[in-house]
A and B are shown apart, each in its own frame.
Chain A
Amino acid sequence: MAEKKFLYNAAMQEVEQILASLEKNNLDVDEMSQKVKRAAELLQACKQKLYQVDTEIQAVFENVKI
């Protein structure tokens, strides 16, 4: 799959979907571990994105030091 642009909101939405279907318990067991893995990956990516944004913002503030 081509590297798609990571979208934080879309990722969080997907996590919520996976959680919802986990809670409704309408997941195939075979599918489950795959989905949970996917959700965990997305969360990790979101976290990374967040840190990245934070760092970038810090840098911005460093540059415009008042």
Chain B
Amino acid sequence: MELNQMVRNEIRKEFTDMYWIRAEVSECKEHYSGHCYIELIQKREGSDAICAKARATIWANIWGSMKPFFEEQTGTFLQAGQKVLVEVSVEFHELYGFNLVIRNIDPAYTMGDLSLRRQEIIRQLTADGVIDLNKELPWPLLPQRLAIVSSPTAAGYEDFMDQLHNNAYGFVFYTAFFPAIMQGESAEISIINALNQIVETGVGFDLVVIIRGGGASADLNCFDRYDLCYYCAQYPLPILSGIGHDRDSTVLDRVSNTSVKTPTAAAEFLLSSLSQEAFRLDTDAEKLKVTTQKILETRLQQLKNNSDRLRLNIRERIHTAELLIERREADLLNTSKRVVLKKSQWIEMQYSNLQFRASSGIGQLKHQTEMMEKTLTGFSPDILIQRGFSLTLHNGKIVKSIHDLSVGFEICTHLRDGKIYSTIDKTEIKNG
């Protein structure tokens, strides 16, 4: 006791300052009294061998504000395995011994360490060739059948469901819930189990949504675990993560197909995915309608043109045929007229021939008659008188025979230029 008091006094005298030290947390227990008891260790560089170890305490008055600050900044709890930069004072208690009292903590150091660890895991996953596998899965056209991995008590889950099912578009979602522990040590196994169950159901889900509600103070460390991320990266369905945090990114965010910050954002993302598709469908439908209408109109116009052409063509052909018939009719009429005319001309010719022959016969006869007439004319008394012959009449009658006359008859002799009245003295009868 005295010795311990001496040590205590000595330490108090010697270690009056505060010291910033780097250490790894190997144990962290929160006492119901509000104090936080920690075990800090230091490992030998490049190995797991512990080369220093110290108990540390964060009194409740400090822990009360340090805890939310740390969790908000780092996105994780203070827990075993974490590297911390803490400001401590050295104390020694007669009963409890050596103890470091933590006054302050620099979350940036822990964050840097976590970030390094995340990068290490990402590097490993890249080396394994799985880092982008889930990202490379095609985003479903209509993500409507959703398997949801979340904690049933999480407020984020309810927000998500509410937003999804009461959407303004009226889109329908089929959701199946696969409960899992979403924080702490057992989260990794629990989430993997939930994901396994999804596959085992055999239901053709479009994608898996991993959401986690709650404030920024919760622990996101579990989403940086190699096994979980290795599993998720190779998961056969696209993963949409919305695990609710403000800090940069978890490894799960890196490997999941799509990552958004919060469950609400996840619901919004799904809705916008559907509404985009709906819009595209509407646009395509309109395009289809317009195009079809245009094609129909064109075809109709073509049909109409063809029909018109056909009609015109037929009209022309009928007209040509009509003309041909008319011409044939005219030909028939003309030709038969001509033939009849020819025939009648021939007949006329025959007739006139006949007439000619007849009349020329008659002419000859006439001529003959005339000749005969002429000949006859030579015999007329006047002509004879002219030529010197004379005509003797008795009582107005031509005396043709001597027998008609007797002596003493008075006779009248007609000459060319006068008459001689004489009385017959003598008659003489011609012999013979």
Contacts and interface: CB of A to CB of B under 8 A. Distances in A.
Interface string B329-342: 10110011001001
Given A16-B328, A19-B332, A54-B318, A66 B339 contact: no
Interface size class, chain A: 20 to 34
Given A19-B328, A36-B332, A57-B314, A50 B339 contact: no
B123 interface: no
Nearest to A54: B318
A32 B340 CA distance: 9
B339 A27 contact: yes
A26 to B, nearest CB: 10
Interface residues of B, number: 20
B307 A47 contact: no
B322 interface: yes
B321 interface: yes
Contacts of B300: 66
Interface in B298-349: 300, 303-304, 307, 311, 314, 318, 321-322, 324-325, 328-329, 331-332, 335-336, 339, 342-343
Contact of B335 (A19, A53, A64): A19
A7 interface: no
B341 to A, nearest CB: 11
Contact of A40 (B314, B322, B332): B332
Nearest to A46: B325
A59 interface: no
Interface of B: 300, 303-304, 307, 311, 314, 318, 321-322, 324-325, 328-329, 331-332, 335-336, 339, 342-343
Given A32-B339, A40-B329, A54-B314, 19 more contacts: A12-B328, A15-B328, A19-B331, A22-B332, A22-B335, A22-B336, A25-B339, A25-B342, A27-B339, A36-B332, A39-B328, A46-B325, A47-B322, A50-B318, A50-B325, A53-B318, A61-B311, A66-B300, A66-B304
